[in-house]
Amino acid sequence: MPINITMPALSPTMEEGNLAKWLVKEGDEVKAGDVIAEIETDKATMEVEAVDEGKGAKIVVPAGTEGVKVNAVIAVLAGEGEDVKDAAKAAGNGAKAEAPKKEAPISPSVGEMSAKPTEGAAVPPASQAESASNGAGRSSTLPPSSLPGISPTRGEIGQSQRTFASPLARRIARDAGVDVAGVKGTGPHGRIVKADVEAAIAGGGAKAAAPASAPAAAAPAVKPMSDDAVLKLFEPGSYELVPHDSMRKTIARRLVEAKTTIPHFYLTVDCEIDALLALRAQINAAAPMKKTEHGEAPVYKLSVNDMIIKAMAMALMAVPEANVSWTETNMVKHKHADVGVAVSIPGGLITPIIRRADQKPLSAISNEMKDLASRARNRKLKPEEYQGGTTAVSNLGMFGVKDFAAVINPPHATILAVGVGEERAVVRKGEIVVANVMSVTLSTDHRAVDGALGAELLQAFRKYIENPMSMLV
């Protein structure tokens, strides 16, 4: 029996990936745990390990192929005692026969599925898979949120309980004036898919008759301008078109998701950082030296950002009610402060996470952050190194930005935007003096963190920044 190797879901939000390189070829013996391929996702380049043993029978998707859907068959192994040629011939039929055995809902549009998901891979929701295969990159259809309790219908809470339909099916029905509640679903678990709506339209399906349905129809946001409408505003030949890559699509989707489903509000304070700068210089000067291939180098070199990460982590532990994540049924109260840090990489950004930053010394945070940032820029992060977290820090002060407001990265309830530290005139005891001041803005999810609680968190952060010795004890 041939063994199908499928494109794994290397993160909960992954819909497709690029098959960068094969590390095995047809005819090679493959053992469980062998690294067989490199996959490029929207976040990183990761190695894929085999979960079965066999001999390479057929490479279905060649190296360099872009946009391979999650769970699509990419290669076939011949099982023990099976002829390689026979396994290769039976590959297509085997994949189709095994697909219905999946317990999780699978969109028919995804293609052939393996009966055995890759170890550690997450099966995407059916709505996400169908949206990816039928409308990937379309700004008019938002893929569903990975957050619990958020409907795929553009942030409507609890609407998916009424009618189980894919985003694409809903859009087609809305454009045609068909009430999806009157359409019979033939997809997994009775889900309404594209084909069901098209059949209802062709057969004169039920029209949206009730004014009561109008509020639900009005809920989605206004459609953005079409590509053609935008391009007509510019002189032909005055521009070039650069297709969106998977990272840019993911960033766009998550930003829209965050701003449409999370009620943001913002708090800003100024922090004096003279004491912090002095302590940083003192700690760096006292750093022990180590021998490297380039000569002696300090064991660590703290940055202001390292100290900001530590201060934010300790502030969350001091105000535990703000160290939370929102779900529709529960408030998730975290026991540790896992701080994500926005890192700019070619084509976008990624947020690697310093786990348990509240428990780590500044030197450990500094070295870990340098390692994560380096591997992030080379797209070598593992999913567990950038997924999750309890808050995030975005620092544009290094670019001279004075202040800004960052967009919350779900499932976080907060994100801290850090501006440049600069000399400003401040008043102390009626006298004007010069001090190094840094403006920070806290964006909070108002569902989870109210105004007073956010202010308390920000005051705790400022206390650690202005009294940095407290971070060392």
SS3 label, residue 386: coil
Instruction: Give 127-149 pLDDT, tens digit per residue.
Output: 443 433 343 333 333 444 333 33
Q: How confident is the model at residue 121 (pLDDT cuts 50, 70, 90)?
A: very low
CA distance 289 to 366: 15
Q: Is there a cis peptide before residue 346, judged by omega within 30 degrees of 0?
A: no
Domains of the chain, CATH where assigned: 3-124 (2.40.50.100), 128-244 (no CATH), 262-472 (3.30.559.10)
Active site residues: 446
Cα torsion 191, 196, 200, 203 to 10°: value is -140
Least confident of 169-178, 245-254, 391-400: 169-178
Per-residue pLDDT at 113? 33
- The phi and psi torsions of 333 (rounded to 5 degrees) equal -95, 115
178 burial (CB, 10 Å; 0-12 / 13-18 / 19+) is buried
CA distance 426 to 464: 20
**If you average pLDDT over residues 341-346, what whole number do you get?**
92
CA distance 379 to 44: 4
Q: How confident is the model at residue 310 (pLDDT cuts 50, 70, 90)?
A: very high
CA distance 132 to 110: 8
How far is CA 213 from each of CA 144, 159, 162, 193, 209, rounded to the nearest angstrom? 22, 12, 12, 20, 8
DSSP per-residue codes, 253-318: HHHHHHHHHS-EEEEEEEEE-HHHHHHHHHHHHTPPEEEETTEEEES----HHHHHHHHHHHHHHH
The number of angstroms, rounded, from the C-alpha of 58 to the middle of its chain's C-alpha atoms is 33
Among residues 139, 142, 187, 141, which one has the least CA distance to residue 163? 187
**If you average pLDDT over residues 16-37, what whole number do you get?**
86
Per-residue pLDDT at 209? 37
Instruction: Give 286-308 pLDDT, tens digit per residue.
Output: 999 998 888 899 999 999 999 99
